[in-house]
Structure 1
Amino acid sequence: MQKKRHRRRPSGRRPQNRNFRNKKALDPSNFIKQAQPVEEIEFIAPLSFSEMDIHESLKETIAKKGYVNPTEIQSKTYEDLVEGRDVVGIANTGTGKTGAFLIPIIQQLLTNNKKFQTLIVLPTRELALQVEQEFKSITKGMKLYSSTLIGGTNVNKDIAKLRRPNDFIIGTPGRILDMMNQKALRLGGFDILVLDEFDRMLDMGFVKDVQKIAAAMPKRKQTMLFSATIDQTQYDLIEELVDNPFHISVSSGTTSTDSVEQDIVKVGGRDKLGLLTSMLENKEFKKVLIFAETKRTVNKLNQQLRKKGIRTDMIHGDKSQNYRVSALRKFKNSNIQVLIATDVVARGIDISDITHVINYQPPTSMDSYIHRIGRTGRAGKMGHAYTFID
């Protein structure tokens, strides 16, 4: 049965650039917090993947990936999502969110007589590529197909990809809209919309783009919206996108992680670069993610640290897609000690063993701060975050 949806007419406005210098600085006390020795209550799934009502082919690929038990969000959402219900989920990166939406959709494709199409929208290229990789590994041998649409790639190749059958389209808002405007992508017949890292998309100014994409899918039967945080002011927009959803939360969505020791470094009149270098020379700083607010600062800092013999690389919006993928791979494989970045990687990079996050330039919002430091203190490990204050 087709759902009736009433939505505001979206405009085609593009994301606005934000000038962080005009924003009020955050209180430095926000960046100081002792890690709390949390006694973790391990989630025990009532059923393993092998015991769940999942197609045998899908069970096989899940087992080959080494997954035995579903995570909390996967276990608590599976049945409702397979039945086609809308969801609003609060969950951090690293909680198994990608599997939480991919597995039920793939199950529907394998068990329904009728084929359908799914659109997955993510805020960054890196996240889109990660979802594509996960999709390909879970669907190996199933004859299910996807195309990924992200900036920094050849537009004509994307148009060619869209001419062939696709069960899934995975992409960032800008490139998806580009393909829609060129009539290469028509979303009218798509059944499922997934909006992942929704709060980050809003932070990046994609609200109008998301509304336009959603409005192009008026006949969709299911919407899945996942976010690490949800602000009270966002509920009107969320209600515009989902229809009678069930809500699931596996994180508070409001506070920084308790497993991260947080402190500030007061620079005063001291040599800021020298302070940073002395920290990085400490053997405990094994894998360090450094954030700066501007691309220019990232470039400059990368050059300065390399001259001091520190193994570094960088990632920001001006870097080509191939460069960004290469830098992330080197960091993940520990071929470099330090990755310097703008907020483009504050979310969605699934690297579990980052020992330290350093805010060389403080963020302009607590939301940004939470997601920056959330890159450390993961997978049950203690993390450390330092914020430089002039």
Structure 2
Amino acid sequence: MHADSGFSTRAIHAGSEPDPVTGAVIPPIYATSTFKQDGVGGLRQGYDYSRSGNPTRTALEQCLAAVEGGRHGLAFASGLAAEDAIIRALLKPGDHIVIPDDAYGGTFRLFDKVAKRWGVDYTPVPISDTAAILAACTDRTRLVWVETPTNPLLTVADLDTIIEQLAQHDLYVVVDNTFATPYLQQPLRHGADIVVHSTTKYLGGHSDVVGGGVIVDDDELADTLAFHQNSMGGVPGPFDSWLTHRGLKTLAARMDRHCDNAERIASFLNEHSKVSQVYYPGLTDHPSHDVAKRQMRRFGGMVSFRHADGEEAAVDLCDRAKVFTLAESLGGVESLIEHPGRMTHASAEGSELEVPNDLVRLSVGIEDVEDLIGDLDQALK
């Protein structure tokens, strides 16, 4: 497979060479914790213990790197395990992070309840405001953490401008690319140092596996992160790696359908009398529409909106949905609905990152869009 191959070609073939012994087209699941050595210290193909490396995980890591346009991929047991490895590998007590003021609740909890106790503090800023990001940086800042689009308010960061302006600072730019996926956006091409994913979401794509991924270009940075991956041990097992790798093969096809459906639903909600505001970068009145149009292939499968009748009406809507399943997470083939204030972002309550209490978040799946719109219509009545 050539490095310049198209996205779907890379997603299908990276890490998926036919088995040299049997000719199996799909790499096998190496369900083993340890590997026979050819003499003391004589590793066979570099494997000795599955925390340190497993061929099934290696196949996934090769595919993660290929689809993000990076040189090194690292797989983790969850998205938060991936984020924690970045923090532990690159920060020390006294360091400072700039984060989005509408970051994912689990990421905020990691910064606020874990890293902060360890002596790392943070400043939340509007991630679409490059001037605010620069103003928040101090001589202690080591990371600027970017989500784009953000979870759950779908704010889009201008990666080119942010990274160009931060070039004079001695820090890393980390981009959480979970919402966009590498099919819609590849932050390394814009100069990001690290890309992080919850592979639980769109990359796995079927709501049947939890995982995380980190992709980098720099060799030294990759070695540092790999050391912490092995030392801390938050790695996926072979079956989880296999499931995620399988999901990646259909990412492009699924994302096009997610985007098709989300665009229709965002337009429907934008005209509905019970909806006071819709957050979707594909709408022309979205504040970052032009940036998203320039930076992303399409606008994604996530839609958030505010119920015109307030919090209880938003909660009731979530309960009334029938085709949309009331559940946390996102990015699976099935459509999900949730109330962020009481579910995924409850950890941000009372903080600068608290989300509106009338907010509803949709993960738009790949069902027939007429059924999805009809379900929302009946739930809003």
Relative to the length of structure 1, the TM-score reads 0.38
- Greater relative CO, 1 or 2 (CA 8 Å, sep 6+): 1
